[in-house]
Amino acid sequence: MEEPTEPPAPAVVPGNGGLMGPATVLERCATGIEGVDNILSGGIPRGNMVLVAGSVGTGKTTLSLEFLVRGAERGERSLFISVTEASDKLMQNLSTFEFFRSDLVLNGSLVFVDLPVVYDRLGLEHEELLPDEIDILIRTIRDLVRSLGAKRLVLDSLTSVGYRIRRDERIRDFMLRLGQALSDEGCTALLVSEVSPTPGRYSLHGVEEAIVDGVILLWNTRRQGDILRVLQVVKMRGTAHSRAQYVMELTPIGILLAPHLKGGRGEGA
Amino acid sequence: MPVDIAERLRALPPGSAVALKLDPREYADHYFAVLNATLRDVGSETEVHTIYMTVTNPAAFVWSLAQALDVPSDRISFVDAISHIMMNYADPLPNATYIDSPRALEEIMLRIEYLIKKFPHPRTIVVVDSVNALAIHNPPELLSEFFHILLNSLKSRQVITLVLETNEEEATPVEQMLNLVVDETIDIARGGR
């Protein structure tokens, strides 16, 4: 096991966030999704590890993919680690969006890796990953990020990895060390968490949300029978952010957000 | 009769929000006059793109009227929030986007934003047809919030918004709110005054 090292101090610039804004702000990794960047006062603080939590069909993977595509367009190499779905199929789905550019994949700006293939190559065959195997997995991800010079990473999904790590203390250790390794590389990461609608719980083990720097929650809500996709930033270290709810639409040109109307009620009308 | 609607619309500065009041007793004449002014006279001008959000009539119906007025199809896009619930969706228009329900107010806002981004033009006009039809499907508090956010959002994007409204005998809460957020009201029954 490697000894954890102190991460480098993130870049800071003078703040201009108005009367309640901080004196300085951390360097941002703009998601490139206008609505999300507005919520986060410019983007995710660079090097943050963020949980994107939501149930089936709420847009977690699409949001994560757009984050990578927008990054690759800006010259930040982006890495998608897929656990549950083959990369070919993902790219096929992604190609239906106008914001996707296949040249980003061809020129290596956007890289897809299938984790099951990595498991096979590393010989990680146990149903439950042992501490040494978890260590190998973290080093492999770190080495991938380092060798590619990746500044953005998506792990889809953390839940699937969590099923093989199983124990709470091990998932906690995995996340602490992965977060530090990625932060050391200046890599901003989204970890996809598949959760059923349970108030206050955003992950499989329930410990993940305490370790990550941010939680973006997605869910479906109903208004008189009609289903709306809703996004809310529950937590984001290192930046002021809106805690309001937003309705999310997956359009061909990318994700768009609008305030969730309440009509004078406390919750979505 | 509304002889100067088009002139009034041409004179609007970017970001204006205008309520166009129609008299229910002369609804058909007024409705056609408004379409004539917005879609043909102003909407057909160079560098103008019109986004027509309809809950009153299906986009196909409005489009058939627009075609009769020789409005070019590349100058107009529709957000149709009524065809789905009318089960009238079998033959979608190529220049329209359809929303499941007129209650999905946020989706209406997002589709308008989508079309603004997809078809960037120096001058964009959004027509909301109409307050009264939206009020059939939505409670007044929700609708007031919708208009407050939509009109301010479009204003910040320098988009001109025209909200069609049929005069009621007494002003509804939504009409009262609308009067607060629009810059101008054009009363078609009073010759555009």
A162-214, pLDDT tens digit by residue? Answer: 999 989 999 999 999 999 999 999 999 999 999 987 777 888 888 899 999 99
Contacts of A260 in chain B (CB under 8 A): 106
φ, ψ of residue A83 in degrees (nearest 5): -105, -40
More reliable by pLDDT, B74 or A268: B74
According to DSSP, the β-strands at B96-98 and B76-80 are parallel
The C-alpha atoms of residue A139 and residue A150 are separated, in whole angstroms, by: 15
B contacts of A256 (beta carbons < 8 Å): 110, 113-114, 117
In this prediction, residue B4 carries a pLDDT of 77
Cα distances (Å, whole numbers) of residue B189 to A26, A260, B183: 58, 36, 19
Among A251, A262, A267, which would you mutate to test the B interface (most chain B Cβ atoms within 10 Å of its Cβ)? Answer: A251
Report chain A's mean pLDDT, rounded to a whole number: 90
CB pairs under 8 A between A and B: 57
Going from N- to C-terminal start, the domains of chain B cover 5-46+55-117+131-139+147-154+168-190
Instruction: Say what the pLDDT of residue A13 is.
Output: 62
CATH of A42-218, one of 3.40.50.720, 3.40.50.300, 3.20.20.220, 3.40.47.10: 3.40.50.300
Q: Which of residues 145-174 of B touch A (CB under 8 A)?
A: 145-146, 149
**Domain regions of chain A by residue span:** 42-218
| Chain segment B118-141, per-residue pLDDT in tens | 999 999 999 999 999 999 999 999
ipTM: 0.89
User: Which of helix, strand or coil describes residue A195?
Assistant: coil
Residue A55, pLDDT > 80, answer: yes
Question: Rounded to whole angstroms, what are the CA distances from A101 to A94, A148, A255, B111?
Answer: 9, 19, 16, 23
Contact B146 A249 (CB under 8 A): no
- Out of A224, A249, A261, name the one closest to residue B145 (CB): A261
Task: Yes or no: say if A227 and A221 are a contact pair by the CB < 8 Å rule.
Answer: yes
User: What is the identity of the amino acid at A2?
Assistant: E
Burial of A10 (0-12, 13-18, 19+ CB in 10 A): middle
Please check whether residue B136 touches A, CB under 8 A. Answer: no
Residues of chain A whose C-beta is under 8 A from some C-beta in B? 223-224, 226, 228, 247, 249, 251-253, 256-265, 269
**Interchain CB distance below 8 Å, A261 and B107:** no
Q: Is B184 on the interface with A (CB under 8 A)?
A: no
Place of tokens 């059923």: A196
Task: Nearest chain B residue to A262 by CA: give it.
Answer: B142
Are A259 and B111 inside 8 Å of each other by CB?
no
